[in-house]
Amino acid sequence: MDTNLVYVKTPTGDEAVRQSTHIIKRNLRMVLLQVDGKLSIAEMATKIGNAKLVEDALRELEEGGFIAPSMDGVSVWEEGNRQARAEQLLELSEFSTFGQKPASSFEAANSTDVTGRFSAFGKPIFSGSRYTTSWPAMVKQSTTPEIVNQEGKRLLPLFRRGVFVLATLSGLLLCGAFFYPYASLIPAFETSASLFLQTPVRIAHVGVTFSPWPQLTLKDIELGESADSRIDTIRIASPLSLLSRGPQRISSVEVIGATISANRIVALPFFTLRHDSVKNDLSIREIRISQSQVTIRELALRDLSGVIRFNSDGSVENTSFEAVDRSIQLTTVPTAQGITLNINGRGWKPFGNAISFDSLQAGGLLQKNKLLIQNLDTTFLGGVLKGTWLFDWSNGLVIAGDATLTRLDCRQVSAIFAPSLKLEGGLGGTLRLRAGGGDWESMWQSVEATFDAEVTRGILTGIDLGEAARRGAGSVSRAGSTKFDRLRTTLTINPRQISGRDVQMSAGMMTASGQFVANRERQVNGNLTVGIQTSVSSLQIPVRISGNLPDLTVTGGK
């Protein structure tokens, strides 16, 4: 074959390129795509890299009527166009209703020679010595093209091999992660955790989770000799970092479902400035806490979450904690005296729905068996409470505090502490309180307090002092109410009774003074002197108050 010969595509070859169904073998189609009327056989062989393959393919394509030498190219295209026009006229004549159909049209339509349908050269495609395969067989064969290269075979692409190797390695790693005997690691983890926390640590289960990323999981952890604190789950990020022999650096640890006593928190080395007292090759960048609680005996601060961040030397950089509803927020700073607290609250209800701290700001100091709340400033029961409180649980439970109250709502106060007393007005004064007991219930039942109270613009429902004074000696008055401008008294509260001394009431022209006692059974006994001042006279009438709240009787004396 003349290597300087240049080929062009015939109309059939051009159609074969567009349809991609007329060429059976891929090497034939590859060569047909290179035929452009410009490249010689030699140039095409150089470009493809296989001269024999190019020459064989060109020979077969020429025999099949797909290409022709460039010198015959123009005539080939003209013949193709002529036949296309003839076929179009034939189709028009077959569907025309005017005149008779030409004989040639009938013959062409009924001709059994299919050469004109498939080749511009008047012969079937691939007819000849090597291409006598029937058309259905050719179509079936075209659906399974050969994969060949210069040597007749094409190797598996390199990237597929890489994907296969990576998939195999990933499968092996997953299998190893699932079936690794993690229980054998428990003693090592317990030792490392005990050194880090400087308290005995016991771990029930060790495993691995893969969602959302690989994490080492520790479950059912107990802290301390008496297991006074527990953690449901600990998740450690980057577990592969624990395989190193040198100092182990953990970026993040997640603590879920912890119940930690206040004394255990105080004893943690990073909160007592003892983080470097014991050499430990384990360091943590941050600890994230969720769904946890801090307990003081039976009392618990629940649903806490937060984060503790550490410096490179193991000391605490900063901490922050908050309740799940953000009603209470705390930040802590370790000091030599203990852990200082900065407390902020909004809508905090530590005792359920009965008492709510609408807003709260305070500082605190947490020590072993002791919590001191200082600079307390809170909106409480419709008013403002400021003071200092001390909680001590070293020997039972003890609470002591001093507070100043301003404009508390008497209706809210009496609804909580004395539901049978119907008193309205703004309550203020100075409160000094102390209580102690074996548990929280017994502690509150042992409260002893002194309250210099003042109620302004109030109403006392259940007695009418003015009516009793107007009726005079021997009169009995039940129900009614007494409206006053100001009521002052010193209340003494103990487990047996509440007594009011130096009662002073003013209500326009009426005044009252005296004392009263109320026991835990709500029985009230009191003696008052009611004074009525008019422009012409002044009356002083003694009255006696008795009965069980809320049903009281006022009896006029002599």
Whether residue 485 is contained in a domain is answered as yes
Regarding whether 315 and 229 lie in a shared domain, the answer is yes
Map tokens 């902020």 to a residue. Answer: 344
Q: Residue 32: which region, alpha, beta or left (left: phi > 0; alpha: psi -120 to 50)?
A: alpha
Q: What is the pLDDT of residue 133?
A: 40
Indicate the SS3 state at residue 540.
strand
On whether both 110 and 242 belong to a single domain, the answer is no
Measured distance CA(544)–CA(225) in Å, rounded: 62
For position 316, what pLDDT does the model report?
87
Q: If we measure between CA atoms, which residue out of 64, 56, 68 comes closest to residue 148? A: 56
Any idea what DSSP says for residue 182? G
Domain shared by 453 and 507, yes or no? yes
Assign residue 142 a region (left: φ > 0; alpha: ψ between -120 and 50; beta: otherwise): alpha
Residue that is last in its domain, among 340, 358, 392? 392
Least Cα distance to 554 among 455, 459, 469, 460 occurs for: 469
C-alpha span between 547 and 468 (Å, rounded): 15
Quick one: pLDDT at residue 484? 93
Chosen domain end from 361, 392, 423: 392
At residue 458, what are phi and psi to the nearest 5 degrees?
-115, 170
**What would the DSSP string read from start to end of 300-329?**
EEEEEEEEEEE-TTS-EEEEEEEETTSSEE
Alpha carbon distance 498, 63 (integer Å): 122
pTM of the model as a whole: 0.63
Are 341 and 275 found together in one domain? yes
What is the Cα–Cα distance from 173 to 32, expressed in whole angstroms?
Answer: 49
> Is there a contact between 249 and 213 (Cβ–Cβ < 8 Å)?
no
Place of tokens 């430990």: 280
Q: Name which of 292, 295, 274, 307 is nearest 228 in CA terms.
A: 295
Question: Which residue range(s) make up the domain with 312?
Answer: 178-392
Residue reference for tokens 């040198």: 246
Output the pLDDT for position 245: 57
Q: In this structure, are 405 and 542 located in the same domain?
A: yes
Reported as a single tens digit per residue, the pLDDT across 263-307 is: 999 988 888 775 454 455 667 889 999 999 999 887 888 899 999
Give CA–CA dist 558/556, Å, rounded: 7
Within-domain flag for 319 = yes
Is residue 524 domain-shared with residue 414, that is, in the same domain?
Answer: yes
Specify if 155 maps to a domain: no
Alpha-carbon separation of residue 220 from 6, 204, 286 (angstroms): 83, 5, 21
Domain boundary (392, 426, 444) is at 392
Structure tokens at 88: 């179009």
In sequence order, what are the residues at sequence separation of 6 or more whose Cβ sits closer than 8 angstroms to the Cβ of residue 384? 377, 378, 405, 406, 407
Nearest to 289 by CA among 317, 254, 265: 254
Any domain includes 168? no
Residues (pLDDT < 70) of the chain are 20-24, 71-182, 210-212, 238-248, 274-282, 558
In a domain, 374, yes or no: yes
Domains in the chain, number? 3
In this structure, the answer to whether residues 22 and 109 fall within a common structural domain is yes
Maximum distance among all Cα pairs of the chain, rounded to whole angstroms: 150
Tokens of 554: 């006022």
Asked if the structure places residue 157 within a domain, the reply is: no
In this structure, are 86 and 199 located in the same domain? Answer: no
Distance CA 252, CA 233 (A): 14
Tokens of 333: 């700073």
Residues 6+ apart with CB under 8 A from 84: 11
Question: Which residues lie below 8 Å from residue 493, measured CB to CB, with a gap of 6+?
Answer: 447, 448, 449, 450, 451
The answer to the question of residue 185 being in a domain is yes
Closest CA to 193 of 237, 257, 253: 253
> For residue 533, what are the CA distances in angstroms to 153, 466, 508, 515, 540?
124, 12, 9, 21, 9
Asked if 461 and 382 sit in the same domain, the reply is no
Instruction: List, in sequence order, every residue forming a beta bridge with 344; answer none if it has no partner.
Output: 329, 361
Residue with tokens 């010969």: 5
Same domain flag for 76 and 14? yes
Same domain, 124 and 194: no
Amino acid letter, 319: T
**Alpha-carbon distances of 519 from 17, 138, 495, 513, 515, rounded to whole Å:** 109, 111, 9, 20, 14
Same domain, 378 and 422: no
- The answer to the question of residue 230 being in a domain is yes
